[in-house]
């Protein structure tokens, strides 16, 4: 019995949480419409968390993802407002995300600086650039209606952000499970020196991980701006803590004890179910933030 709980405890907890809210709010919570809403609510968190998953796998941290996300939203919106084609603006913004990720990886790999310190510094720089670009104001006037489709539209009745979430989830899962790059990520996480002796180009793989993290963070910002119909220089600030909470919570899924794509999704889903259920029950928002911190502590304790 204890073996089953240790291996599937996180999934069991998710089921009990869902049942609990279903009992407390039977007319609202356990409906198909609300489940679709939960998936939509966690879609952007899951996307940015998949990038954080890769970083945690290689035993690093990327504290710049929230700032990159905010930059992605205002840059894409700003370019479109200035008259640049929607798709070109998105491609430019995605390219900037990759470049920032590469810069993070180069600083950490080539200068041998702690990822925590390096990305804390780049996060501050990016935040400053974002405020300079927007002059601290929200961009909302002049954003093309066609751009809003990415965050507000549906395909076959499924919200587009939810579809992007599953595409990202499956892509990262495939990379980690079936590609040489995925094996190298886990090899570095097991020990960079051993991985290097095995022929792995540790620096190149770390840079790749940060590049992917950067592009997923900026993509999250683009979708957030599209969903809100506006872009604020701090719009992505709430994703930093929650993304790593999802990753750490996901490390306990299936008893693996290591970061993985589907585990991160389950972690995000648990937080989404909690946030949704507590909101329906009119629990204050600040309590939800407190709960996120408690979840991280519990996840780390369970992992150990």
Inform me whether the pLDDT recorded for 164 exceeds 90: yes
Percent of the chain with pLDDT over 70: 93
DSSP symbol at 209:
H
Q: Which range marks the domain in which residue 78 is found?
A: 37-237
Express each pLDDT in 182-199 by its tens digit: 999 999 999 989 999 889
Is residue 153 in some structural domain? yes
What pLDDT score does 11 carry?
Answer: 80
Express each pLDDT in 263-284 by its tens digit: 999 999 999 999 999 999 988 8
* Position 5 confidence tier, pLDDT thresholds 50, 70, 90: low
Q: Which pairs from 132-139 meet CB under 8 Å and 24+ separation?
A: 133/71, 133/74, 133/75, 133/78, 133/233, 134/74, 134/78, 134/231, 134/232, 134/233, 136/233, 137/233, 138/230, 138/231, 138/232, 138/233, 139/74, 139/77, 139/78, 139/81, 139/225, 139/230, 139/231, 139/232
Mean pLDDT of the chain: 92
Is residue 65 in some structural domain? yes
Inform me whether the pLDDT recorded for 40 exceeds 80: yes
* Position 289 confidence tier, pLDDT thresholds 50, 70, 90: confident
Task: Note the pTM of the prediction, 2 decimals.
Answer: 0.94
Range from 195-204, 253-262, 292-301 carrying the lowest mean pLDDT: 292-301
What backbone phi and psi angles, to 5 degrees, belong to 257?
75, 15
Is residue 108 in some structural domain? yes
Inform me whether the pLDDT recorded for 304 exceeds 70: no
- What the block records as the tokens of 248 is 């750490």
Compute the average pLDDT of residues 123-129: 97
Express each pLDDT in 216-247 by its tens digit: 999 999 999 999 999 999 999 999 989 998 99
Is residue 2 in some structural domain? no
Is residue 244 in some structural domain? no
Q: DSSP per residue over 248-301, as a string?
A: HHHTTGGG--S--HHHHHHHHHHHHHHHHHHHHTT--HHHHHHHHHHHHHHHHH
Compute the average pLDDT of residues 123-136: 95
Alpha-carbon distance of 141 to 69, in angstroms, equals: 20
Using CA atoms, how far residue 56 sits from 53, 61, 162, 172, 213, in Å, is 5, 6, 24, 14, 11
Inform me whether the pLDDT recorded for 116 exceeds 70: yes
Percent of the chain with pLDDT over 90: 77
Is residue 220 in some structural domain? yes
Is residue 7 in some structural domain? no
Nearest in space to 231 (alpha carbons), one of 126, 95, 134: 134
What pLDDT score does 13 carry?
Answer: 79
The 3-state DSSP class for residue 137 equals: coil
Is residue 266 in some structural domain? no
The count of structural domains within the chain is 1
Burial class (CB in 10 A: 0-12, 13-18, 19+), 151: buried
* Position 39 confidence tier, pLDDT thresholds 50, 70, 90: very high
């Amino acid at each position: 019995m204890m073996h089953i709980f240790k291996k599937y405890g996180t999934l069991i907890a998710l089921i009990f949480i869902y049942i609990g809210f279903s009992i407390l709010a039977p007319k609202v919570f356990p409906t198909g419409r609300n489940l679709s809403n939960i998936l939509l609510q966690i879609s952007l968190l899951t996307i940015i968390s998949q990038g954080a998953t890769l970083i945690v796998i290689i035993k690093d941290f990327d504290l710049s993802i929230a700032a990159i996300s905010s930059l992605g939203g205002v840059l894409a919106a700003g370019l479109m407002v200035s008259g640049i084609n929607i798709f070109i603006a998105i491609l430019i913004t995605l390219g900037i995300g990759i470049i920032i990720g590469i810069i993070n990886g180069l600083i950490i790999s080539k200068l041998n600086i702690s990822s925590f310190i390096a990305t804390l510094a780049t996060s501050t720089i990016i935040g400053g650039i974002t405020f300079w670009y927007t002059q601290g104001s929200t961009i909302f006037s002049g954003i093309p209606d066609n751009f809003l489709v990415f965050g507000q539209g549906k395909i076959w009745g499924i919200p587009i952000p939810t579809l992007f979430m599953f595409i990202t989830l499956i892509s990262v899962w495939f990379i980690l499970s079936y590609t040489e790059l995925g094996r190298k990520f886990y090899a570095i996480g097991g020990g960079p020196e051993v991985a290097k002796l095995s022929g792995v180009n540790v620096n190149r793989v770390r840079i790749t991980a940060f590049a992917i993290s950067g592009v997923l963070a900026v993509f999250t910002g683009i979708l957030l701006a599209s969903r809100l119909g506006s872009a604020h220089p701090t719009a992505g600030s709430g994703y930093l803590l929650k993304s790593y909470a999802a990753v750490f919570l996901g490390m306990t899924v299936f008893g693996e004890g290591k970061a993985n794509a589907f585990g991160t999704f389950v972690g995000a889903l648990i937080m989404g179910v909690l946030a949704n259920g507590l909101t329906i029950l009119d629990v204050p928002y600040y309590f939800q933030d407190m709960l996120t911190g408690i979840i991280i502590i519990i996840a780390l304790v369970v992992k150990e």
